[in-house]
Amino acid sequence: MVSVVIPAYNEEKALPHTLHALFSQPGDYEVLAVDGGSTDRTRALVSEIANGTQHSVLSTVRLLSAPKGRASQMNEGAKQARGEWLLFLHADTLLPAGAIQRLNEMETDPTIQAGGFMHQFSGDDWRLRAISFLDNFRCTRSRIIYGDQALFVRRSLFERLGGFPNQPILEDVGFCERLIKVTEPLLLFPPVITDARKFLKMGVWRSFLRVLLIILHVEYRLPVLPRVFFQDIR
């Protein structure tokens, strides 16, 4: 079984679409939406969608709570998960068709311990396509999988590595730096699709600069951006 862990904070705009798309996936899975103290209708929407969606009897959805912060929220979801695979899915990101079944089929292959998907933004803005291209190129070289690439990892390995580090930003990078020391994550295609709304609202070039500086930080240990550069955008 796949345990899909979705950290959410004030995601009433994007989360419904993500959940509806997820519930259309065939396969054996459960969904754990972990709220970080939302002040909008995120929690209510999760309950409404879960109760009103005709999804597979093999899948369930649970609404959990944790202190705000992706690391804290994803670690809480992982703690409550029952599946062989933990799949960490951002609230504004859509899995490609057949992704859950594909993971179900890989459960019996012990050579595959972790992985993620290639990335693409919604829409057709060439600048965002360029960001995804750069990010995918980086990922194929480093095997460092960012949070919006739907990282998946076997639950036993995740627990052995101690989960996501308790840090306010780049928890995905911190975890993957430990992960690649023990296994080589598999990269899957077709890509996940991330809603471009936040990047467009932030500004495409500012978003591009952020991605570039993160890459430089990871690859060459240059100073990371100040936390204000990672402010919430809804």
Predicted local confidence at residue 203, as pLDDT: 79
Return the pLDDT at 56.
Answer: 47
Tell me the fold of 2-126+142-196: Spore Coat Polysaccharide Biosynthesis Protein SpsA; Chain A (3.90.550)
9, 38 contact by CB (below 8 A): yes
Q: What is the pLDDT of residues 101-126, one digit of tens each?
A: 999 999 999 999 999 999 999 988 88
In the predicted model, residues of the chain with pLDDT beneath 50 are 54-58
Bond preceding residue 190 cis, omega within 30 of 0: yes
Prediction pTM value: 0.89
Three-state DSSP class for residue 156: helix
pLDDT, position 57:
42
Task: Determine the pLDDT at residue 228.
Answer: 52
Do 156 and 83 touch, CB atoms closer than 8 A?
no
Cβ atoms within 10 Å of 54's Cβ, excluding its own: 7
Contact 4, 87 (CB under 8 A): yes
What is the model's pLDDT at position 233? 55
**pLDDT score of 231:** 56
